[in-house]
């Protein structure tokens, strides 16, 4: 099922996100993915991550969702999904239509519980993982293309 028929529809979602007019009920897993797709498509990973992080904080504020150690913005989940999106874009680099990419992305990554294949519940939902990026604990080899070099000290 295609949700997006034009790139303009994707752009309108991002505009609503950035202007904080996106309704809380419309801030779904798919919407998170599509905004992340837009940022990763148009910006280097670090910029996309910063735009996404700031935008989620601001949108949460407009929805009166507190950003605390137990609710609101979650750094590890955000970085996880952005890395999955960046990998997806690398694998689909020939495609230039955001609408086509958006529909394919939300089909391939419809399972919002995917991070739990990489992280134990205890680690993923810890205050540390919410506040700061933590590496997966259920995999032996790095699976991501950006997290290790980007966050290495």
Domain assignment of residue 75, yes or no:
yes
- Report how far apart, in Å, the C-alpha atoms of 47 and of each of 17, 43, 55, 84, 150 are: 16, 6, 12, 16, 12
DSSP type of residue 24: G
**Which residue range is the domain that position 65 belongs to?**
7-151
The two three-digit tokens of residue 59, written as one number: 């949108």
Is residue 145 over pLDDT 80? no
Global confidence as pTM:
0.89
For 46-78, what is each residue's pLDDT tens digit?
Answer: 999 999 999 999 999 999 888 878 778 999 999
| Number of domains present in the structure of the chain | 1
- Report how far apart, in Å, the C-alpha atoms of 46 and of each of 7, 132, 149 are: 23, 15, 11
Domain assignment of residue 23, yes or no:
yes
For 76-122, what is each residue's pLDDT tens digit?
Answer: 999 999 999 999 999 999 999 999 999 999 999 999 999 999 999 99
Domain assignment of residue 2, yes or no:
no
Placement of tokens 């519980």 in the chain: 113
Mean pLDDT of 20-44: 97
Could you tell me the end-to-end alpha-carbon distance of the chain, in angstroms, rounded to an integer?
Answer: 43
């Amino acid at each position: 099922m295609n949700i997006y028929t034009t790139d303009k529809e994707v752009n309108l979602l991002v505009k609503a996100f950035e202007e904080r007019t996106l309704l809380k009920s419309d801030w779904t897993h798919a919407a998170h993915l599509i905004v992340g797709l837009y940022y990763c498509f148009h910006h280097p990973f670090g910029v996309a991550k910063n735009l996404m992080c700031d935008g989620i904080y601001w949108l949460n504020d407009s929805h009166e969702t507190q950003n605390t150690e137990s609710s609101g913005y979650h750094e590890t989940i955000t970085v996880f999904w952005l890395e999955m999106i960046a990998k997806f874009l690398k694998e689909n680099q020939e495609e230039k239509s955001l609408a086509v990419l958006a529909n394919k992305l939300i089909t391939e990554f419809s399972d919002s519980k995917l991070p739990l294949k990489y992280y134990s519940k205890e680690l993923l939902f810890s205050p540390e993982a919410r506040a700061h990026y933590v590496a997966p604990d259920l995999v032996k080899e790095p699976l991501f293309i950006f997290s290790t070099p980007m966050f290495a000290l």
